[in-house]
Amino acid sequence: MKKNLIGNAIVGQSGGPTTAINATLAGVFRGAAESPYINKLYGMRNGIEGMLDRRIIDLFEVIDTEEKLRMLELTPAAALGSCRKKLPDPDSASDTDILVYEKIFRIFAENNIKYFFYIGGNDSMDTVSKISRFAEKCGYELCVMGVPKAIDNDLIATDHTPGYGSAAKYIATTMQEIIRDCAVYTTKAVTIVEIMGRDAGWLTAASAVGSVINGQAPDLVYLPEKAFDLEDFFASIEKAFEKHPNIVVAVSEGIRFADGRYVGEGTQSGSVDVFGHRYLAGTAKALEMAVKVRFGCKVRAVELNLPQRCAGHLFSATDIKESVAIGKEAVRVAAEEGISGEMMIFERASTEPYVCNVSHKKVCEIANMVKKVPDEFITEDGSFVTEECCKYILPLIEGEIAPQYEGGIPKYIIL
Amino acid sequence: MKKNLIGNAIVGQSGGPTTAINATLAGVFRGAAESPYINKLYGMRNGIEGMLDRRIIDLFEVIDTEEKLRMLELTPAAALGSCRKKLPDPDSASDTDILVYEKIFRIFAENNIKYFFYIGGNDSMDTVSKISRFAEKCGYELCVMGVPKAIDNDLIATDHTPGYGSAAKYIATTMQEIIRDCAVYTTKAVTIVEIMGRDAGWLTAASAVGSVINGQAPDLVYLPEKAFDLEDFFASIEKAFEKHPNIVVAVSEGIRFADGRYVGEGTQSGSVDVFGHRYLAGTAKALEMAVKVRFGCKVRAVELNLPQRCAGHLFSATDIKESVAIGKEAVRVAAEEGISGEMMIFERASTEPYVCNVSHKKVCEIANMVKKVPDEFITEDGSFVTEECCKYILPLIEGEIAPQYEGGIPKYIIL
């Protein structure tokens, strides 16, 4: 792509919310505001889906003070809205498929768009890759850059994803508090905490970091990367009861038995509520019942649920700083180096002391793949994570930064 | 009771954890440390239950720096441990019943205990009342004081309970974040958030305070104080969909139908999981199914669960300040005024500006009763709370105060 294209830029957010996705948007804003090559920065409402309906706003107009920009940095969940639209194959021969691209590029042309920034996860990188390919194909001069976000930390090629650090900090902190809460009584009890992560256990692994800080951690930690065995689980609980009466277990929502069935999936079968409906209860709930029957003690299932990905009151300062930086750098490499069709990445130079650099990589090598927790980060028996794993996570949750408060609740921006 | 008894004091914590229960313990510590009448302050491990096993510690020895005392103030969940023991009637004629009291008072005598402070909820005030009555009966000179704690805010006689403000702040904040998270997509969806509160809806009411601050609040709020009607609920959802596609509903775990059945209770019947066990899923889960069947849209149940009562990373500064003050004042009125058999209370002098005083009241008038959310705090149709209700809550969640952090997670004290 040509360097120093002069024109307007457009930015969108896509996929599931994270607490840092707006920090990256603010970074793109800062980069665009500084760039001599970019005149206007448009924001797509609800990603590519909203852009197709021409729902775009002029961000330099809407965010007209440093205070608002700062507030955007410390606001969780996509401020521009999100979508889950999958674009068709740009090489498709179907007329309907081509129509979508024609419309997209007509809107680009109408608004003199020369830069397209898309903040998202795996699926969004697929969009970046496709728009980039279509631009080449039709000869439209456009720099297309993907900027990653994912609480799950499951994108390959990058050391970690923006948004993971804050989610991990929330989980690590909440786990410290749940452990304290569970320890106040002397009666035998098992608390099972379910953490997000269908295929990758990065978030669940974060529940264990206390083990290398203050020794306070769940007794058992199960990730989807290893097959789950119920009898081994019972044996581990029995062993843990020898140490103390209050056992805390962390499980990824996506743990499965060796035969591939999800541990939580069975809870669908045959369950009927007061209204006569069948439903799915979840992994922790399924294990709660199993432990209750086996040990006869008090058991409680806790699903951390949505707050994991939207708890803006507990940002990781490192995550926010890096998320802004990667967004800003995306603009710089596009405008100054003419990079296109790539995703921004983090490269860790060192863990102690933590040094991490921003770079970029061809998006076609990245999209649609999942980065799992490696074997050496999980203990051999699969019931905990290693010290090395915790040390990988620690710098990402470092530092506290609070949003503004008004009337006792956080003050977040609405665009 | 005689004023200015000279001797030792003992303090215990009892009932469910709160984030502010240790702030009150720290307040008792500060009061005892300043008092010329108190020599030593003992802490019971696991309340009266641990005291019966002589598991007591010398708190002046264990907490020997202001830094540790400050860390105790900002540590959630009973640092001394808790219990749920109910003492027998002190007027009982049974020998076994009397033996318990004889043992308690033998331990008091052995340790020259002249002051007994008990931090807890309803059941704990029952303990305070009974120990006080037995002391009188047997002529043992003892000042017995209850200091309230309850996230549920359900104790009568006091304007509010220590611990409620922090739990309410956590709920109000988390609700702001969940509303943002749910708003990123344009597809129709209902999110049902279940909040603690079996008989009183104070915590659920806190989810609505955004309505008087920034207009961001759940669409619907249901408390246990009003009968829940499924058809009315469906009609309210339909109406809310006219305004926006992302509906958020807050429900108390204890909401019931007009016939008295808990909304969540039906989920017990007939439900069988992969292990063949029956289980109880909860109120939000039951409603999730009902809404899914009726509206066919995406529905999600979120149970805020344990973090409501242990999220020390999000204290209300007002709550912590008041919780310390009420503990300290308990010691002063016992030692200097000879008050005994009473519970400390808050008396609100004014809401705007917020002025609240610490006082005390006979415990026999308080124990074993539940303070419900009054009618005038709930809208007529029972689907929201009034502005007056929000204004009552607002000063209690005001102000932020953070624990120390180490390695990215909060640093809490372990006694």
Averaged pLDDT in 10-residue chunks for chain A of 415 residues:
90 96 98 98 97 98 98 98 93 88 97 98 91 95 97 95 98 98 96 96 98 98 97 98 97 95 68 46 88 94 96 97 98 97 97 97 80 97 98 98 97 96
Query: Residue B232's pLDDT is what?
Result: 97
C-alpha atoms less than 13 angstroms from C-alpha of B415 in its C-beta half-sphere: 34
Conformational region of residue B191, where left means phi above 0, alpha means psi within -120 to 50, and beta covers everything else: beta
**Burial of B402 from C-beta contacts in 10 A (0-12 / 13-18 / 19+):** middle
Q: Is B294 on the interface with A (CB under 8 A)?
A: no
Rounded to 5 degrees, φ, ψ at B175 are: -65, -40
**Would strands A56-58 and A143-148 be described as parallel, antiparallel, or unpaired?**
unpaired
Q: Using the CB atoms, write b or e for B39-75: b if 16+ within 10 Å.
A: ebbbbbbbbbbbbbeeebbebbeebeeeeebebbbbb
Yes or no: say if A194 and A282 are a contact pair by the CB < 8 Å rule: yes
Q: Taking the mean position of all CA atoms in its chain, how far away is CA B253?
A: 15
Size of interface A-B (CB pairs under 8 A): 261
- Phi/psi of residue A240, nearest 5 degrees: -65, -35
Going along A325-401, which residue ranges are E strands? 342-350, 355-362, 400-401
Q: Is the dihedral of CA B168, A284, A179, A161 positive or negative?
A: negative
User: What is B12-47 written as a DSSP string?
Assistant: EE-SS--SSHHHHHHHHHHHHHH-TTEEEEEEETTH
Mean pLDDT, 10 residues at a time, chain B of 415 residues: 90 96 98 98 97 98 98 98 93 88 97 98 91 95 97 95 98 98 96 96 98 98 97 98 97 95 67 46 88 94 96 97 98 97 97 97 80 97 98 98 97 96
Q: Does A397 touch chain B (CB under 8 A)?
A: yes
Give the C-alpha separation, B317 to B396, whole Å: 9
User: Among partner residues A49, A180, A310, which is closest to B412 by beta-carbon distance?
Assistant: A180
| pLDDT score at A122 | 85
What pLDDT score was predicted for residue B278? Answer: 45
Closest CA to A192 of A282, A87, A60: A282
* Nearest-by-CA chain B residue for A399: B408
CB-CB under 8 Å, A267 with B270: no
Q: Determine the residue of chain A that is closest to B181 in CA distance.
A: A77
pLDDT in tens, A57-81: 999 999 999 999 999 999 999 999 9
B306 and A178 within 8 Å at the Cβ level: the answer is yes
Nearest to B64 by CA among B24, B35, B110, B33: B33
Six-digit token string for A105: 């590029």
Would the CB atoms of A400 and B405 count as touching at under 8 Å? yes
Is the CB of B186 less than 8 angstroms away from the CB of A309?
no
Taking only the tens place, the pLDDT of each residue in A110-121 is: 999 999 999 999
Q: What phi and psi values does residue B60 have, to the nearest 5 degrees?
A: -65, -25
Task: Give dist(CA A109, CA A61) in Å, integer.
Answer: 21
A164-182 and A317-337 helices, crossing angle to 10°: 170
pLDDT of residue B274: 46
Residue B206 CA to residue B395 CA, distance in Å, equals 12
On whether any CB of chain B is under 8 Å from the CB of A83, the answer is yes
Which amino acid is residue B205, in one-letter code? A
Q: One of B97, B123, B152, B273 is an active-site residue; which one?
A: B152
CA–CA dist B60, A139 (Å, integer): 78
Q: Strand A409-410 vs strand A405-406: parallel, antiparallel, or unpaired?
A: antiparallel
Name the residue in chain A with its Cα closest to that of B316: A408
Give strand pairing partners of B251: B194, B222
Dist CA A413 CA A29 (whole Å): 15
Q: What pLDDT is stored for residue A3 in this prediction?
A: 85
CA distance A57 to A45: 8
A111 and B CB contact within 8 Å: no
A407 in reach of chain B (CB within 8 A): yes
Question: Taking Cα atoms as reference points, which of A187, B157, B271 lies closest to residue B146?
Answer: B157
d(CA A24, CA A34): 15
Quick one: which of A352, A253, A269 has its CA closest to A303?
A253
Interface with A, mutate which of B180, B404, B415 (most A CBs under 10 A): B180
The dihedral through the CA atoms of B13, B17, B21, B25 has a sign that is: positive
Report how far residue B390's alpha carbon sits from residue B168's, in angstroms, rounded to the nearest whole number: 11
Contact B303 A305 (CB under 8 A): yes
A43 touches chain B (CB under 8 A): no
Is the bond leading into A403 cis (omega within 30 degrees of zero)? no
Nearest CA in chain A to B13: A184
pLDDT at residue B93 in the model: 78
CA angle A61, A64, A66 (to 5 degrees): 150
Provide the annotated active-site residues of A.
152
Which residue, among A393, A23, A410, A415, has the nearest Cα to A223 in the 3D structure? Answer: A393
Quote the CA–CA distance of B196 and B206 in Å, as a whole number: 11
Residue among B246, B218, B256, B179 nearest B390 (CA): B218
Contact A178, A302 (CB under 8 A): yes
